[in-house]
Structure 1
């Protein structure tokens, strides 16, 4: 719906070649797997971070 105001994707000036799909917009989030974790410095203590994924405390430098 063009006027609903839902956030479907995001862009980031640090990664201009990518568009980031917001997981909450997916009908089946299991179809996609994360490729990295950013902003780990602000993650809650209960949030699990997969040790196999690259992780960054803030936005990584390009």
Structure 2
């Protein structure tokens, strides 16, 4: 994947760029992500938060995930597009929703997480790593 990615929301009110290579890419089947992805897994690109630059106004929704982590999700208040999320316990990383990238093609998931929550019809790439629940942070031993 590129060392610089750009993207934005559906209506164009929010734009962003991320400098630096992604830490990893994941498809998440947790129930929260299923809600956010309209029933499917959310495809996420995890990046260093220091590289994220946003123009436009975002709104934030804070909740506690099944992992127990407090999650801060940011979205466009005009069109509702979910753009980013971050766990307060990992301020160094930001999750970028792959569907908001100008070029989402390279965001193929390296792993699938929370597969224990996926519906029977939920697809996973058999060649990628699978985690039944929350994996270790990117870069940790055996974490994707």
TM-score (norm 2): 0.36
Superposed CA deviations along residues 9-42 of structure 1, whole A, max 9, x for unmatched, are: 222357x343221123234422321111100001
Larger radius of gyration: 2
Matched, 1:50 2:125: yes
Which residue of the partner structure matches residue 10 of structure 1?
Answer: 85
TM-score (norm 1): 0.69
Between the aligned partners of 2:88 and 2:127, the Cα distance in structure 1 is 26
- By percentage of residues, which structure has more helix? 1
Runs of 4+ in 1 over 3 A off after TM superposition: none
- By percentage of residues, which structure has more strand? 2
Report the secondary structure of 2:105's partner residue: helix
Structure 1 gap segments, 5+ residues each: none
Which residue of the partner structure matches residue 136 of structure 2?
Answer: 61
Between the aligned partners of 1:19 and 1:34, the Cα distance in structure 2 is 16
